[in-house]
Structure 1
Amino acid sequence: MSFIKSSIVTHILIALVFLVSGITVNLLQLLFFIILWPLHKELFRKINYYFSYIIYSELVFISDWWAGVEYYFYVDKEDYKYFGKEHAIFIINHKYEIDWLTAWVIHDRIGGILGNCKAFAKNSLKYMPVIGWTWWFGEFLFLQRDLVKDKYTIETKLKTLFEYENPVTMLLYAEGTRFTKEKQEASIKFARTKGLPELKEHLLPRTKGFSIGLPHFRHNLPAVYNVQIAFRGEEKPTLRALLNGQRLEAHVYMERIPIEKIPENDKECDKWMYDMYEKKDKMMVSFFNTGDWFKESGVKPVEKFVPPYRYYSLLNIVFWSILILTPFFYFTFNVLISGNLLQILLLVVPLGLLYVVLSKLMSVSEISKTSSEYGTDKPKTK
């Protein structure tokens, strides 16, 4: 079974299903956007929720059903009852290539609101086929990494998102870029010059975007969630590992923070964010040292539980696989038995290009391929 999951042929078939279904959904999004957006924005948003879910759940399938990642959640029972029933911002550590996918699994398995999971993203990502286009139709916040240019986007678009009738979650990676040792050194250097916490397993958060935008939407935002993600084991948590069927173990801590507990003053709000990241760092150090969030962090322990699987992502991928692969296999069989070299080349070359596209899409999330000016100047925003 592991050979099948790691096979290039299998990966090409997965890419074929993802890209064909994704572009089909993108075309439907475009059609409904043209027809409905000028007339009834809220109706378009409700329909687009399901379009977004179709795309996102295909990736959740890779994590839940293909690789069989084991997820363990740590959350207070009182906090848990709110999740998926209110607008929220998730403040998440940015250490792994698949921390965003872990957040999607959270929303699918314990929130049931995967289609309304939004995020801040680099402006260039909106041009990425399937995912980027889906994000654009989903009103993601695409940022230029420049506080002056992004100020208007943060203030107005977040306010609009939190006026949705149905619950919306915004993912915020306040570190602004994925953790690496080089960026950590720059973060510590900057922290020392400003008298800020020196973090061991995080980068110093970029606070301005959050503190500037908060006054414009806090009246529609019941809570912010502190979300901490860690993976246990020797296997690196990457998309490639998941695609190869590598079984990973993820541990997710969640804490609900009512909006009333977040200071309204900008400087006090910045300090609140730094304090949160100091707490997150202590938890991460504790987890890496002991395998437990709480033993060395001083944070109050909460109960661990395993959320149940939801079958929608499995049913979704089965539907699209039958729809796309049945005619594909029929066509491939006829081409191969024909013995026509030109027809075989016309089949093989596009499939090879498809594999290249898959590799390019996966490389977007690779830590080694991410670029950042972190530490070259004062962090701008995230």
Structure 2
Amino acid sequence: METRTKEILVRWATYFGRTVWVVLNNLYVIPAHIIILTLFSPLVYFLPQLYYLLEETMFTWMLSMVSCWIWSAGYTILESGDSLDQSLRERILFMPNHQSTADVPFLMTLFTPRFGMGGRVMWLMDKVFKYTNFGACSWIHDDFFIQAGKQTRDRSLVELREHLTRVFQTKQRDCLVLFPEGGFLRKRKAVSQSFAKKNDLPLFEHVTVPRTGALKVIMDVLGPSGTSPTSTHIKKVVDVTIAYPEGKPLDLVSIITGWRPPCTSHVHYRVFDVEELPMDPDEMFKWMVQLYQDKEKMLEEFYRTGEFPYTMFNPGAEAPKPIQHIPLRYALLNSIFIFATLSLILITYSLVTSLKNSIY
């Protein structure tokens, strides 16, 4: 009994310790990120490309912090399917399924080991995220925040069209992340199934019926016949299937605390030339529904057997490979942010002290 008690105490101490560490990590990373970029913001008017490079580099470093949380908690991610690295040689639209608050940290972890990629990604996310601590960094990065709800949907699509032209094109972004389902599985499942029944569509259990409004706008601006310059057109569409063990998604709380035992999740890629995507709205919707039928089939097989069916759509596919983490890089980046934060505190203290002395 005494041994059991000690194990419980150690486990809860670990949860608490990790939580404190993640909170501190946020405190010495995010303020430093915001302050440094604010101080260098005048470069936008004189040397914009240099400022964009600085911002993209620091944004990539920040994503590495999130990746470090996942790695240190023992959560392994295996990649399979078509080559993502091959696709990254061209501009891509990245379309993952959406199950929980762990999806975004997982995607950040996918981009982290790919040099320079994380900072050149534009995220489309719910507007609520803008008011979080990390949301401030995303706002500086010029990600797009979508206002949820039917009443604001049309306006959001108009704003998205303008944002793609103003930011994705101007800043030469390489990747656009879109969650076609528009929300978490657990929140949208009932509405999705009701919609499917009314419109004679497949009933999904592990995904929801995808929305195509934002996708249509993206194709109108960045597609083969889009209004933006040809140099900024998207060339590949990457369908991404995130599969958690036993169909039980991780979440941000488990990533922060590490309360859930170490486990292995899968991320599967299917790459399509953008020309394969129909431009007619009705045909585009049918294409997406078929894509999600395939996704549903893959997830159902995984949850039923416990074996991820990575050869389902390509019998010759290579076995899943783990995302590579570099602990030394994590240690170095943490050291840089800690040094930057301490330096800013020291400079601020010196300035305040000097100001007080000059007054009195």
- 1:196 matched to 2:190? The reply is no
Q: CA deviation at 1:325?
A: 8.7
Q: CA deviation at 1:100?
A: 0.9
CA deviation profile, 1:307-341 (whole Å, cap 9, x unmatched) = 33234334212443577699x9xxxxxxxxxxxxx
Provide the C-alpha distance between the structure 2 equivalents of 1:183 and 1:83, rounded to a whole number of angstroms. 30
CA deviation profile, 1:126-185 (whole Å, cap 9, x unmatched) = 2322x11110111111112322211222212224444367652222111111011x6322
Residue 343 (structure 1) aligns with: none
Residue 101 (structure 1) aligns with: 105
Checking the alignment, whether the CA contact within 8 Å between 2:16 and 2:257 is kept in structure 1 is no
Residue aligned with 2:223, SS? helix
Residue 54 (structure 2) aligns with: 47
- 1:229 matched to 2:242? The reply is yes
Aligned positions of 1:1-382 closer than 5 A: 3=11, 6-33=14-41, 35-64=42-71, 66-76=72-82, 79-110=83-114, 112-129=116-133, 131-145=134-148, 146-163=152-169, 168-180=174-186, 183-219=188-224, 220-232=233-245, 237-245=250-258, 246-294=261-309, 298-301=312-315, 302-303=317-318, 304-310=320-326, 311-321=328-338
Larger CA deviation: 162-171 vs 184-193: 162-171
Larger CA deviation: 208-217 vs 310-319: 310-319
Q: CA deviation at 1:256?
A: 1.2
Provide the C-alpha distance between the structure 2 equivalents of 1:168 and 1:314, rounded to a whole number of angstroms. 28
Say if 1:32 and 1:4 are closer, same or farther in 2 by CA, change over 3 A.
farther
Say if 1:198 and 1:41 are closer, same or farther in 2 by CA, change over 3 A.
farther
Q: CA deviation at 1:83?
A: 3.5
Q: Which residue identity lines up with residue 19 of structure 2 in the other structure? A: H
Say if 1:105 and 1:201 are closer, same or farther in 2 by CA, change over 3 A.
same
For these two proteins, the number of residue pairs brought into alignment is 321
Provide the C-alpha distance between the structure 1 equivalents of 2:45 and 2:144, rounded to a whole number of angstroms. 20
Say if 1:197 and 1:70 are closer, same or farther in 2 by CA, change over 3 A.
same
Provide the C-alpha distance between the structure 2 equivalents of 1:197 and 1:235, rounded to a whole number of angstroms. 22
CA deviation profile, 1:185-205 (whole Å, cap 9, x unmatched) = 221111111122221111111
Checking the alignment, whether the CA contact within 8 Å between 2:57 and 2:116 is kept in structure 1 is no
Q: Any stretches of 5+ residues in structure 1 without a counterpart? A: 329-382
Q: Which residue identity lines up with residue 132 of structure 1 in the other structure? A: G
CA deviation profile, 1:39-89 (whole Å, cap 9, x unmatched) = 44433222110121232211111112x11221211023xx34424322211
Say if 1:29 and 1:165 are closer, same or farther in 2 by CA, change over 3 A.
closer
Q: Which residue identity lines up with residue 305 of structure 1 in the other structure? A: K
Residue aligned with 2:314, SS? coil
Say if 1:298 and 1:236 are closer, same or farther in 2 by CA, change over 3 A.
closer
Checking the alignment, whether the CA contact within 8 Å between 1:161 and 1:168 is kept in structure 2 is no
Q: Which residue identity lines up with residue 264 of structure 2 in the other structure? A: E
Provide the C-alpha distance between the structure 2 equivalents of 1:151 and 1:234, rounded to a whole number of angstroms. 32
Say if 1:17 and 1:105 are closer, same or farther in 2 by CA, change over 3 A.
closer
Q: Which residue identity lines up with residue 221 of structure 1 in the other structure? A: I
Provide the C-alpha distance between the structure 2 equivalents of 1:81 and 1:149, rounded to a whole number of angstroms. 35
Checking the alignment, whether the CA contact within 8 Å between 2:157 and 2:213 is kept in structure 1 is no
Checking the alignment, whether the CA contact within 8 Å between 1:113 and 1:167 is kept in structure 2 is no
Say if 1:320 and 1:81 are closer, same or farther in 2 by CA, change over 3 A.
closer
Residue aligned with 1:25, SS? helix
